[in-house]
Structures are given as structure tokens and as C-alpha cells.
Amino acid sequence: MNKIIKKTLIAAAVATTMVAGSAQAEDITVVSWGGAYTKSQVEAYHKPWNGYTGNTVISEDYNGGLAEIKAQVEAGNVTWNLVDVELSDAVRGCDEGILEVMDHSVLPDGANGVPAAEDFLPGALAECAVGNIVWSTVFIHDESKIQGVDGLKDFFDLGKFPGKRGLRKGAKPNLELALMADGVEPADVYEVLSTEAGIDRAFAKLDTIKDSTVWWESGAQPPQLLADGEVVMTTAYNGRVFNAIASEGKPFVINWDGQVWDLDLWVIPKGAPNQEATMDFVKFSTSTKALADQASWIPYGPLRKSSFGLVSSFHSDPSLDMAPHMPTAPANFTRALQNDFEFWADNSDQLNERFNAWLTK
Amino acid sequence: MINFLQKSINNKGRAYFFLALATLSVVLLTGTMKAAVGFLLIFGTPLYFMEKMHDYSTTGERFTRYVFLVISASVLIFLIAPVLIIMPLSFNAEPYFTFTDGMLSFDSEAYSARWYLDILHNGMKAPEAIEGWWSDMWNNAQWVRAARNSFFIATVSAIIATTLGTLAALGLSRPEMPQRALITSLLISPMIVPLVITATGMFFFYSSIGIAKTYTGVILAHVTLGVPFVIITVTATLSGFDMSLVRASQNMGANGWTTFRRIIMPLILPGMISGALFAFITSLDEVVAVLFIADVEQRTIPRQMFSGIREQISPTILAVASILVVMSVALLTVLELLRRRSEKLRGMSPG
Amino acid sequence: MTTANPSIDQANTLPLKEKLAKTTAIQRRRAFLLTLPLVLFLLISFVFPIGQMLFNSIHNNKVSAVVPDFATAIQQWDGQGLPSEATFEIFVKDLAKAKKVREVGRTVGNMATRINYEMPGSRSLFTKSARKAGKIKQGPYKEALIKIDKKWANPQVWLTLQRASHDISPSFYVAAMDLKYNETGEVVEADELYQIYLDNFIKTLWLAALITFICVLLAYPVAYLLSVLPLRQSNLLMIMVLLPFWTSLLVRTTAWIAILQTEGVINDLLVYFGVIGDDGRIQMIYNQTGTIIAMVHILLPFMILPLYSVMKTIQPTYMRAALSMGSKPFYAYRRVYLPQTIPGLAAGTLLVFILAIGYYITPALVGGQDGLLISNLIAYHIQKSLNWSLGAALGTMLLVVVLLLYWVYNKLIGIDKLKFG
């Protein structure tokens, strides 16, 4: 009670001197995927940057995709300064002219003096984008409920592990997962998928669990579905699951077999305001140290080689080494597939149409 | 049934799809009505026993009467229960959407107001801080920001909708109004056209003139959606309006403005206010147009609830919902009082 | 009869008939002027946007805006074999020019996306070739282009380009009706695995009809009860109808999620009373059942209110007269009471049906994989797949159905009869 009175008194004092809140010119709005991922960016990028420059980062969440950026750009009213997108969207958005071209020459050298162009992993520097992390779609289960899950094929085995499955609502990356579970090697997945027979095969595999599937749309959902007992296994983004395990002590297990990994990149919507400050933030947040720092909050792999050696332990638990939890850790990488952005740029319209038709039938 | 319809459409050739679709919907609709009428014929017969139960009613009649009462009561409970059930659920101490054992045994430990506190804390930079708590809450708490947006947008939209709507209703209720039917159906159509279509159209057009993702755009959309309700309620008040009052006032030398202020205004005021309330609550409840037209900056309560339901269901949403229900009760009370006043003013017997 | 005023009579020598006509005209204009601000407002905020959407559904200039010279030149092609060397040259030059453009809506990517809708998998063909087109300095252009990618030798690419070069085309309606253009440019039925819209239209209409039917069944007895009860009691019960009506749609949807989900109130009660086992919880939400329950709940007041307002006006004496004259109760009900409630029944039915086919939020939140109704597909194309023209075409088709029903409603009942509370 006293606390509240105190708050009120202070508020009254503040209110008299307060002016109408208006954003400063140098504030930037950075849009990302929310949850534990945004939290890691706030801790590793936003707060330190604010400390150096005094500029504030306003953090907003979204569910991916280019719709919002496209709408803002076409409306000529761009309010987002920087957006965290998947590689396929970065490429498509760049092709359609709704993203600013990025000048990679301004990016700082790695902490070990290696020029940025060589320090970043291949593919991380796209025409309109600068990459920051590697993330992965994995499947998870609750160890306290089921044991002995052996690889991706068990995800599709309702006989061995009865119960609901959780999958992302959309064709990507379910078709890849279905093929890998059906015995296709990661290296051949996209080759198989580019034939009509391959697509049929993937859908046929999905058919086997269709009636037992719960479809999720945002990354925050799958850990919750699993925790609530709505599903016994679900696909999920590895970082968020790790946080549910490490911070909340959930008995979840990550199965790395058949993981589908992808890059996340920064892009600037065309015509966004404050581009100078935004670029400054991009330079800061993709520096060797910031990327390494972020990895202590969430196990998404930094895209600079110079950051690898600096990845330390989990922020709240010094005994928990982060490196083995990265998608790129050798033990996790035995059967991994990189999401093919070009395949999806070409085929996502058609495959999602078929997916929607399949879903409603 | 569906397969059959599908096939018949396939065979006829899809160039005629429109015609087929239109006919189909009319057929379905009349079919629905016919089926419903038929059903009522068979099962509705007990209805008239309701009215007066005579001493000489047979046991069978009494039985049907009770069956009927049970059915009606169940429907009413079906209507009201979901609205009421969320209130106790919102005081759950656990992060579940259901009654825990503790709640059922009225254990005070099982109840908590934590989700109400969460409404304030969610998004705050330092919920535990003492200094700057209020301004932090006011500026950063997501739900508070959404509530501020909602009330701002709803208030402005309701004012504009009521002004424009009342003027138009005055025009429409004049006996000399040309093309009344056409214009009325135009003005009511925002209520009929599916929201997704309205929102899509607005999204394209407002984008092309640069007002999408702005407060102006959202308010324009909400005025549009609120206008039909104002027209309907104000026209209803005007329907019992005695035009000779206006002539009397003019005969006595009052000019147009005075007549409006002293004669028309007091009589239609209840209708105007309930129209304004309708417009207000339409805006407060609207989410489709906001999904399409608004930016994060214009995020409203329904928008926040929508993403909450889709992404991370927590009892915080139930707490917000409970607050909204309490608000609806308050609004409903105001409306009911207004209705009674209106009927008194218009010299109608209550009811 | 007012007393004639001599001064006015002298000043105004027009015959009475014309004076009357003039006054009427003025009054007509006044009445119209009162509605004018709102009419203008709605034209800008509502009618015009929808009109533009209709236009968007047939208009798409993503080819002619990117490769303008080629878009004109390809029209000369007769569709046989491949276009001429001259056309290829224009295309290559246009493509090289377009590669340098970064203006929104005019990049090669925009054209690639447009063509990809009709020829899935051809997107990278355009973006890749555009990158290399600048290097082709001299002819033969045909060979040079085919050397970049042999898909350019496929006549279907050029047929699609020719079709898409027209700014106005029905191609999005073709897609919206589950049709497609085949290799030779004829309209044929799309592969069954890709058919979704037509089924969805039918599913939406079917669901709307079912919901309307359930609403009639539930609303009729309640409306009757409300209309015959003494005022004090009926007002009290009316609150139970009006409160949900006034409560936010999202609140009610949330409530149904809390009640129906597998860990929700009903399942918990059933488990508690031992009706079902803990592992036998019933799936009542995120499927068709959930959608129907929630939508009936939301739309029921729209059925009860018009029925009630009609039943209220029916004199109980009619029924008594029929009964006292020896009519069988069933017969009296069928011939006397029911016909009198038809106007209210029609009003409620149409209103609920119209609202139900346009529903979006509730199916999206509680429908799960069955929740894809036509409105959701429209939203999907506007917000996710970014195929705005297809979304607009589907929207137009839905709009036609709704306006037709609205017209019927107006003819039968008259929209000005609509009342709330």
C-alpha cells in the first residue's frame, strides 16, 4: 500500500513537469520475432547501443513475412526502421524493390582484424541485408511423458508414439521434414521436391499425421502447446525451446536429427526514416562482440566467424556452455538441411496453395 | 451434400460460376428458411401453451410447457454463461484457462489478482521501480497503450459518426427525401458488406493516398463502420416524431436553428446518444480493419487481444475481457435508461 | 386554412401549382443536402476503396510497367513457336534496363512474381536472367537468352508474358475459380490437388446456412417467451440477450476458448464427474464444432431481436379466437401464429446469413484447420502471400453474393425496418 502511495506522489510531481511524450528524432523502431529471441537482441544489441549513443530502440514484434513492409512502403508511410527477416524474404523483398540496398563496406572488421566481407559466413551479406544469426527448426518432445525418441522418423510414427503433433501452418519447412522422415537425405531434399512426384511424396507423408496435427503460427506457441499437453511432439525454433529448458526448467528435449536451418538478417524498408542512425545500429549489432553476446542469451549461431570463439555461457547460468546448443555445433549438424531460399522464392505461392487446399480437404 | 453441389457446378462449366454461386446462396437461404419453418411447425406447436395455462390444462400440456421453458432457459443460459464465466476464471492464481481444484473449493489461495496486475506490467520497462512507475506504465505498458489508442480512436470516430449520421437521418426522415430507399441502403451497407472486403478495399485505397498506418486512416474506417448504427437508432427515434411540432415552432417565428435546438434536438437526443454509444462500441470492438489498416502505433485493445489469443494465451486476456464485460454492462445500463427516457418523451407508453 | 397575405400575393404572381412545385423542390433539396455530407464521406471512405478493389482484381500492370517496350511488341506475336528475333532483342534490352530500376512496383522482381503466379517456379528465371541480360551486347539475342536459361525456349513462358502484358485481364478470376491456363493458353480446370476456392465458397455458404438454421431454432422459443412474458420479467430476460450482444466479439471468442478447449471448463467438468477419462478429453475447439458454437453464440441476438420485435406486435386474441372456434392447436399455430412471424423470421435469417458468410475473426481464432473460410483466404492473400489481385478477385466474388442477398433483403423487408434493442 505504501508503495502505491509513494508511486502516486512521485507521479504527481513528475506529471507537473512532464511534456507531451514525443519520440526523439534519433529513436529507431526495430522489428523482430518477439519472445526470447527479441529479448536476446534487446540485451545484446539495444541496451548497449543505447548506452553508447543515447538513442533509444523501440522494439516491436511481428510474425515474419513481407506483407507489413510492403504495405508501409507502398503507402509511403514507413514507420519501421529495421526488420529481422528470413533469407528468402530478404531476397524477394530486395527483388521487388521494397528494401534499401545495404552498403556492406561500412561494416566493421572482425575483432581479429579480418575484413567484414570475409568474416561473415557465406550468404550472410545479401544485396539488401546483413545477416546476424543462424536459427533452426527442430522437433521437440517432453522427456517426462515419452522416452526413446529416435530421429525424425519417430515424429511421423503415430504407432510408436501416439498423440498429437504440432507443425507450423504452412508448406515450409514441413515438406522438407516429411521427405527427410521418409528417408530422403538432406542433400537431395530440394531435388526431390522440385518434381511433382516429390511433392506428392511429401504430402503423402504429411497425410499420415494430418488428423493428429495441431497447427501453430507464431514461434511462441509450440513450447506452450507442449507444456500444456496439447501435443506430445512439435516442431519449434531451437532458441525458444532452449530458453524454456534453461530458464523455466521444462523437461523438453531437442531432437537435432533433420533440423532445417536458415539465416535471419537485418533489412531496412525502402524510404525508412533515420537511416543513418539505423545503419549505425546495424554496424553495432552485427559486430563480433554483439553477436557473441547475443549467443549467451539464446543459442542462435552468430554469423561472424570471429564471434565463434567468444561465445560463452548462458547469461543466468555460468556453468551452462552455449556452444553445444548451437544449430551449427558439430554434434547437432550430422543430418541438417539448409533452407533453400531460391526454391521457396520460386515455389512458395504454388506450394502454399496446395498446402491450403490439402489442409481443408 | 457438398460433394453433390460441387459436382453439379463442375459439370455445368465454371464460366457460369457466378450465376451458380448466386443462385446457390439464394437456394440455400430459402432452403434454410423453409427447413426452419418446417422444423418450427413440428416442434414449435407447444409454444402457444405458454401464454395462459388454464386450470383445465391436461398433464400433456403442462409437460410441453415445462419442456418449452427448459429449452428457452437453456438458450438464455447458453447466451449469458460464456460472458459471465470468464470473470471468476480471470482471478485464477494459476496460469490456466480453467477452474483449478482450489478454486472449486473456494480456497482463497487459489484466487489472485495477478493477471490484472499483469495488464499493467506487461511491456513496462521497470514494473518494480517506484520512481517513474506511473509514467512508465502510462507510456510503455502494452495494454495501457492499447487502451489509450482504443479510447482515442473510438471517441473521435463516435463523434464524427454521430454528427454525420444524425444529419443524414434527419434528411432521410423527411417525407420529401428523394431516392430514400437507395440512399438508405447505401448508408447502411458498411454494416452488411463483409468486413474483410471493406478492410481490403480501404487498405489498398488508404495506402494509395498515404493514410494507411495512420490514426486518420483507422478513424476514417471506424466512422464508416459506426455510421449505420447511428442512422438506424436516430431514424428509429424520428419515426414517432410529430412533424406538426416543427411547423408549430416555425409558425411561432422560430428560425431553423432554434427549431432544431429547442424542438428536434431534445427529442432525438436519446437516439443520438445511443447511436453514439453504438458507434463507440463498434470502434472499441473492431479488429479486422485495425488488422489491415493500423500500424503497431495504432494498436488497439481488440488487436492486442487478437494476437494474444493467437500467440500466447494467458489469463491476462481473461482479465482484460472481464474489464470489457463490466464496461458493456455499464454501457447497456446507460442505453436502457436512454430508451426509457426517449419513450417517455415521445409520449409512448413504456414498452 | 391560413389567411391569405395580400403583400405576398402581390409580389408573387406565380400560379399555386408552380409555387407548390417550387417549395417541394426546395424541400427535396434540403432533405438531400442533409444527407450529402455523409454520402460524400462514405463515397471517399467506403465506396471508392471498394471500387478500387474491384479494379485491382482485373488490373495488374506489373509486366507493362517493367518492360514497357516489350509489352507493346509481344502483342504482334501470333503465339506460334517463339517470338521473333526483334522481339527478343527488345526484351533483352528492356530487361537490362529494368534491372537498374529500384522503384517500388517497377522492378524485375515484381514482374517475376506476377508471372510466377501463372507459371510456378519461373520466378528465378526472370531475376537470374535480368542479372545477365546487361552482358548481352549484340545478337542473336534469341540464342543468347536461351543460353542463359533454356527455359526461354519454352513457348509457354512467352504465352504467359503475352497474356500478362495486358494491364486488364481476367487471369485472377481464372485463378479464383480454380481454373488455370494450360501450355497452349487455354483455360482448363486446375489440378484437383490445387483446387481450393470453389470448395471453400461452398463450404462457407453451407456453414452459414447451418448456423442460420441453428439460430432460428434457438431464437424462436426465446423470442416467443420474451414477447409473452409480463414487461418486468421480459426486460430482465432481455438483458441476457443484450449483454452478449454488447460484449466484445473477442471477449466472447476468448470465453469459448476457455470453455471448450481440451484443458477447458467443459472437459474438466466431464472428467470431474467421470463421464470421460482424463485421456479421453473431447476436442471441441479448433475445428468445425468450435466454429459453429462460437458463431451461433455471436449471431443469435441478431436473430432474436427482429423475431422479438415482430412477435411483440402479434395479438394473442387471434390465437385464442382460432382455438375457441374449435381449431386444433397445431392447426391454429400453423395457420395463425407462424405466418405472422414470417417477417421477423425472414429479417433475422437474412441478417444472420449475410453476417455469417463474411465472418473472419471467429473462424480464424477457433477454427483450427477447418477455420479456413472464404474471408480467411482473402485475408491470407492480402496479408501473407501478397497476391493482392487474387485476394481482390475473391473479395469481389464474395461481395457480389452479399450484395445480391442485401438486395433481396431490401426488397423483402426494407433495411430501414432494422432495429436494435
Q: What is the pLDDT of residues A161-178, one digit of tens each?
A: 998 899 999 999 999 999
| A327 against C231, higher pLDDT | A327
Which of the four pLDDT bands, split at 50, 70 and 90, describes residue C337? Answer: confident
pLDDT at B8 over 80: no
pLDDT at B220 over 60: yes
Question: Rounded CA gap, B115 and B92, in Å?
Answer: 8
Q: Does residue A65 contact residue A89 with C-beta atoms inside 8 Å?
A: yes
C206:B28 CB<8 A: yes
pLDDT at B47: 52
Q: Which of C110, C5, C118 is nearest to C66 (CA)?
A: C110
B25:C205 CB<8 A: yes
B40:C258 CB<8 A: no
Choices 3.20.20.150, 1.10.3720.10, 3.40.50.300, 3.30.2270.10: CATH for C197-417: 1.10.3720.10
First to last CA, chain C: 41
The residue among C2, C27, C29, C35 with the most chain B CBs within 10 A of its CB, best to mutate, is C35
Name the closest residue on chain C to residue B318, using Cα atoms.
C254
Residue A277: Cβ within 10 Å count: 19
Q: Which of C356, C354, C330, C337 is nearest to C223 (CA)?
A: C337
Which of the four pLDDT bands, split at 50, 70 and 90, describes residue B268? Answer: confident
Name the closest residue on chain C to residue A193, using Cα atoms.
C121
pLDDT in tens, A15-41: 433 333 333 447 899 999 887 899 899
pLDDT at B26 over 90: no
B186 and B313 assigned to the same domain: yes
C109:A97 CB<8 A: yes
* Residue C124 contacts A, CB cutoff 8 Å: yes
* C369 neighbourhood in chain A, CB within 8 Å: 169, 213, 215, 359-360
pLDDT at C5: 53
* Cell (9 digits) for C236: 430482465
pLDDT at A6 over 50: no
Residue B32 lies in a domain: yes
Mean pLDDT, residues A131-148 = 92
First to last CA, chain B: 45
Across the interface, of A97, A350, A352, the residue whose CB is closest to C107 is A97
pLDDT in tens, C295-333: 999 999 999 988 898 888 888 788 778 878 877 777 777
C38:B68 CB<8 A: no
**Interior/surface letters B25-50, b for 16+ CB within 10 angstroms, e for the rest:** beebbeebbeebbeebeeebbbbbbb
B48:C333 CB<8 A: yes
Mean pLDDT, residues B113-139 = 82
Question: Rounded CA gap, A183 and A175, in Å?
Answer: 13
HSE, side-chain direction, 13 A CA sphere, residue B41? 12
pLDDT at C158 over 70: yes
Mean pLDDT, residues B274-281 = 90
B188 and B113 assigned to the same domain: no
Residue B204 lies in a domain: yes
* B317 neighbourhood in chain A, CB within 8 Å: none
pLDDT at B209: 84
pLDDT at A20: 32
| A24 against A354, higher pLDDT | A354
Which residues make beta-bridge pairs with A136? A261
Residues forming CATH 3.40.190.10 domain(s) in chain A? 22-134+263-331, 137-261+347-360
Which of the four pLDDT bands, split at 50, 70 and 90, describes residue A157? Answer: very high
Residue B80 lies in a domain: no
What part of C 343-372 touches B (C-beta under 8 Å)? 345-346, 349-350, 353-354, 357-361, 365
B58-62, B256-260, C126-130, C281-285: range with lowest mean pLDDT: B58-62
* Residue C417 contacts B, CB cutoff 8 Å: no
State chain C's mean pLDDT as an integer.
Answer: 87
pLDDT at C191: 86
- In this structure, is the dihedral angle defined by the CA atoms of residues A164, A166, A170 and A173, taken in order, positive or negative? negative
pLDDT at A17: 34
3-class DSSP assignment, residue B294: coil
Q: Give the chains touching B; criterion: ≥3 Cβ pairs < 8 Å.
A: A, C
Question: Rounded CA gap, A79 and A59, in Å?
Answer: 12
Residue B93 lies in a domain: no
Cis status of the peptide bond prior to A173, with omega within 30 of 0 = yes
Question: Rounded CA gap, B348 and C342, in Å?
Answer: 26
Q: Which of C349, C347, C321 is nearest to C335 (CA)?
A: C321
CATH topology of domain A22-134+263-331: D-Maltodextrin-Binding Protein; domain 2 (3.40.190)
Q: Does residue A125 contact residue A282 with C-beta atoms inside 8 Å?
A: no
Q: Give the chains touching A; criterion: ≥3 Cβ pairs < 8 Å.
A: B, C
Residue B88 lies in a domain: no
pLDDT at C416: 62
* B211 neighbourhood in chain A, CB within 8 Å: 75, 77
Count the domains in chain B.
3
C360:B288 CB<8 A: yes
B132 and B147 assigned to the same domain: no
Instruction: Kindly write down the DSSP assignment for every residue of A113-172, as one continuous string.
Output: S--HHHHBPTTSEETTEEEEEEEEEEEEEETTT-----SHHHHT-TTTS-S-EEEESSST
Query: CB neighbours of B70 closer than 8 A, spacing ≥ 6?
Result: none
B299 and B338 assigned to the same domain: yes
* Cell (9 digits) for A104: 556492406
Choices 3.40.50.300, 3.10.400.10, 1.25.40.10, 3.40.190.10: CATH for A137-261+347-360: 3.40.190.10
Which of the four pLDDT bands, split at 50, 70 and 90, describes residue A183? Answer: very high
pLDDT in tens, A93-113: 999 999 999 999 999 999 888
Name the closest residue on chain C to residue B52, using Cα atoms.
C228
pLDDT at B148: 93
Q: Which helix (H) or strand (E) holds C179?
A: strand C179-181
First to last CA, chain A: 58
Domain that holds residue B218: 141-345
Percent of chain A with pLDDT over 70: 93
* Residue A350 contacts C, CB cutoff 8 Å: yes
Question: Rounded CA gap, C401 and C201, in Å?
Answer: 10
pLDDT at B346: 64
B213:A60 CB<8 A: no
pLDDT at B64: 74
pLDDT at C90: 93
Question: Rounded CA gap, A45 and A57, in Å?
Answer: 9
The residue among B134, B202, B297 with the most chain A CBs within 10 A of its CB, best to mutate, is B134
pLDDT at B1: 40
Give the largest Cα separation in chain C, rounded.
101
- Rounded to 5 degrees, what are φ and ψ at A138? -125, 175
pLDDT at B202: 93
What part of C 291-350 touches A (C-beta under 8 Å)? none
Name the closest residue on chain A to residue B291, using Cα atoms.
A68
Highest-pLDDT range among B5-9, B154-158, B286-290: B154-158
B86, B113, B136: which is the final residue of a domain? Answer: B136
Strands A252-267 and A336-338, bridge-based pairing: parallel
B87, B116, B136: which is the final residue of a domain? Answer: B136
pLDDT at B78 over 50: yes
pLDDT in tens, A265-290: 999 999 999 999 999 999 999 999 99
pLDDT in tens, A69-85: 988 887 777 889 999 99
Q: Which of B238, B206, B223 is nearest to B282 (CA)?
A: B223
Which of the four pLDDT bands, split at 50, 70 and 90, describes residue B262? Answer: confident
* A77 neighbourhood in chain B, CB within 8 Å: 210-214
B274 and B127 assigned to the same domain: no
pLDDT at A103: 92
* Residue A9 contacts B, CB cutoff 8 Å: no
pLDDT at C80: 86
Which residues make beta-bridge pairs with C312? none
B48 and B120 assigned to the same domain: no
State chain B's mean pLDDT as an integer.
Answer: 80
> Rounded to a whole number, what is the distance in Å from the CA of A194 to chain C's nearest CA?
9
**Interior/surface letters B294-318, b for 16+ CB within 10 angstroms, e for the rest:** bbbebbbbbbbbbbbbbbbbbbbbb
Residue B180 lies in a domain: yes
Which residues make beta-bridge pairs with A135? A262
B189 and B54 assigned to the same domain: no
3-state secondary structure B56-97: CCCHHHHHHHHHHHHHHHHHHHHHHHHHHHHHHHCCECCCCC
The residue among A96, A224, A230 with the most chain C CBs within 10 A of its CB, best to mutate, is A96
ipTM of the complex: 0.85
B2:C202 CB<8 A: yes
Across the interface, of C37, C209, C333, the residue whose CB is closest to B28 is C209
Residue B188 lies in a domain: yes
Cis status of the peptide bond prior to C140, with omega within 30 of 0 = yes
> Rounded to a whole number, what is the distance in Å from the CA of B306 to chain A's nearest CA?
13
